[in-house]
Structure 1
Amino acid sequence: MTVLLLLLLAAAVGGAVCVVWAERGGPRWVRIVASVTLGIGRAVRGADKSRRRGVKGSGNGDGGE
């Protein structure tokens, strides 16, 4: 389990490095990795927003306050 978490952390850090490097004009493979990283980030944020919207819409009727 620890190895899996370390690999996930390494992938996240590597993706972030590629995003910064791509902004500064890195090679083609860096721009591809950066695009994938940003796409995954958008997908995660979109899923989080839709999940929050679903929870908010199924409230107990007190108006959320």
Structure 2
Amino acid sequence: MTVVVLLGILLLVIVGCVCVYLDARGDGRRWVRVVAVVTIAAGEVLSRSGKRGRSSGGGGSGGDDD
């Protein structure tokens, strides 16, 4: 069951990336543009949440990753 869920998520990511690519080229229909906007927004949300998680760690190796 877990494999099916992970394959579904992978499929959604691939479709989202293809839609972003088609939208950037200007070859997409309206639904392609909508999927591209949703994909980019989801990427921004995940990126910001990842930065918050790393900055609130408080301690660690002491290295400068930025």
- TM-score, normalised to structure 2's length? 0.84
Find runs of 4+ consecutive structure 1 residues off by over 2 angstroms: none
Q: C-alpha deviations, 1:38-65, integer Å up to 9, x for none?
A: 000000010000011101xx227xxx25
Code of the residue aligned with 1:5 in structure 2: it is L
As a proportion of its length, which structure holds more helix? 1
Matches within 5 A, 1:1-65: 1-25=2-26, 26-55=28-57, 58-59=58-59, 64-65=62-63
Query: 1:59 and 1:23 mapped to 2: Cα distance?
Result: 41
TM superposition shift of 1:24: 1.3
Task: State the structure with more CA Rg.
Answer: 1
Q: Please, which runs of 5 or more residues in structure 2 have no aligned partner?
A: none
Q: Please, which runs of 5 or more residues in structure 1 have no aligned partner?
A: none
Q: Please tell me the root mean square deviation across aligned C-alpha atoms, in Å.
A: 1.6
Identity %: 40
